[in-house]
Amino acid sequence: MTETRIRPEALLPTAEVELSDAKGEARQVSLRGTLTFAGAADIWSRIRTGTATLKEGDEIDFDVSQAGAIDGGTMALLVHLRGELAARGVRAEFTGAAEPIQALIHLYKGDIDATKRKKRKAESLLAHVGRATVQFFEEVQGVLGFFGSAVLAAFGLLREPRTGNWKAILPTMERSGADAVPIVVLINFLVGFVMGFQGATQLKQFGANLYVADLVGLSVTRELGPLMTAIILCGRSGAAFAAELGSMCVSEEIDALRTMGFGPIRYLVLPRMVALMLVLPLLTLLGDLMGMLGGLVVGISSLGLTFGGYLFETQKAVSMWDVFSGLIKSVVFAMAISLISCQQGFATTGGAEGVGRRTTASVVSILFALIILDAGFTMFFHAFNL
């Protein structure tokens, strides 16, 4: 049997580490003297160095039979070291403890069985899909619940109009509507322009150049105008609403409003919803006009059409219902944008990081909702031949 004895010089009265290397014989750490937290760092480093070579299946005893006293800090470190060894599969126990030290060991749970830490298994694809599905339905439940609260707040506002935050509507309309005009004009003009070019190639083959007005006019008024404008406002206003309300939530401003007797939904959400439901149809009309203007540019420059001919064909192809159906969509889109963004803002937790997460989640959720709503409108109008 080979035995190595390490006697630390810097520790309090005496503390020594004995390692027995005999095959099949348990290794032992002997602790002697008064062990206080002042010397715990040295004890910790020496024991960790001496036990670094132990592997799974080995055993080691912490012999404290000759320890005069141990304080809580040192015992906490020893128990933590025992847990580290157990995580590596090394069995470690305290032995020879007198009554006072045994009570301290029990206090720090050094006498319970320390089991090897189980390796965390990677989740399966099915588990990921299941968790994402549950989270999706929880988000849907939260939005529907928030919608119910907004409806109740709206009825309360109708009964008591003086309690509404009416002065916030115009500034919100300015930020969400007037400030969005340049980007709405540009995007919708380019959409009509690109659509005209895409259709021109096919229409030229059949000598149907004039029908580019029908293609652009119907596509823009019924689908692309409302949808593209809503997507723009989703990125501008939806993200802004979520970030504003999320910041108010984490800074406890919303709780302060409740404390002062203000209904947060009535005071913060309804003005934003009303403002967006007013400006989005107006922006949609502007977007329809710019989209048809983009098609007009293509028709005149590439298809040899005249301004009067293009305008006449557009008037013949596009009815008032086509424009009105797009406006109906825009109102519903505005309601979805405001509800989802405000709900995500109210659900914010965790400081600035939480605000960022909820802002991102609001944009993604709104885009998904817009596509679902647009598909629903399309099937409904098709079913009733509208």
Write out the DSSP string of 75-111: HHHHHHHHHHHHHTT-EEEEES--HHHHHHHHHTTTT
Q: Measured between alpha carbons, how far is 307 from 210 in angstroms, rounded to an integer?
A: 11
Higher-confidence position of 40 and 177 = 177
- 38 close to 12: Cβ distance less than 8 angstroms: yes
Of 14-23, 31-40, 101-110, 258-267, minimum mean pLDDT range: 14-23
Three-class SS state of 3: strand
Three-class SS state of 230: helix
- ∠ CA 279-227-149 to the nearest 5 degrees? 60
Of 261-270, 282-291, 320-329, 335-344, minimum mean pLDDT range: 261-270
Question: Model pTM?
Answer: 0.71
What are the Cα distances from residue 101, in Å, to 73, 91, 111, 254?
Answer: 13, 20, 11, 52
- CB-neighbour burial class of residue 28 (10 A; exposed 0-12, middle 13-18, buried 19+): middle
CATH hierarchy code of domain 3-107: 3.30.750.24
Q: Measured between alpha carbons, how far is 269 from 151 in angstroms, rounded to an integer?
A: 11
- Tens digits of per-residue pLDDT, 203-232? 888 878 888 999 999 999 999 999 999 999
Residue whose entry in the numeric block shows the structure tokens 């823009």: 220
Measured in residues, the chain has a length of 386
What are the Cα distances from residue 27, in Å, to 54, 74, 97, 199?
Answer: 9, 21, 17, 84
- 79 close to 110: Cβ distance less than 8 angstroms: yes
Confidence at residue 327, expressed as pLDDT on a 0 to 100 scale: 94
- Tens digits of per-residue pLDDT, 9-34? 333 444 555 555 545 445 777 777 77
Average confidence score pLDDT of the chain: 84
Most confident of 74-78, 255-259, 366-370: 366-370
Confidence at residue 114, expressed as pLDDT on a 0 to 100 scale: 61
- 142 close to 343: Cβ distance less than 8 angstroms: yes
- ∠ CA 52-57-62 to the nearest 5 degrees? 60
For residue 202, the tally of other CB atoms under 10 A from its CB is 12
What residue spans define the domains of the chain?
Answer: 3-107, 126-383
Q: Measured between alpha carbons, how far is 153 from 271 in angstroms, rounded to an integer?
A: 11
Confidence at residue 12, expressed as pLDDT on a 0 to 100 scale: 40
Task: Grade residue 47 by pLDDT with cuts at 50, 70 and 90.
Answer: confident
Residue 97 has pLDDT above 50, yes or no: yes
Confidence at residue 1, expressed as pLDDT on a 0 to 100 scale: 40
What are the Cα distances from residue 191, in Å, to 67, 82, 326?
Answer: 83, 68, 16
Torsion of CA 12, 14, 15, 17, to 10 degrees: 140
- Tens digits of per-residue pLDDT, 320-330? 999 999 999 99
Q: Measured between alpha carbons, how far is 103 from 19 in angstroms, rounded to an integer?
A: 26
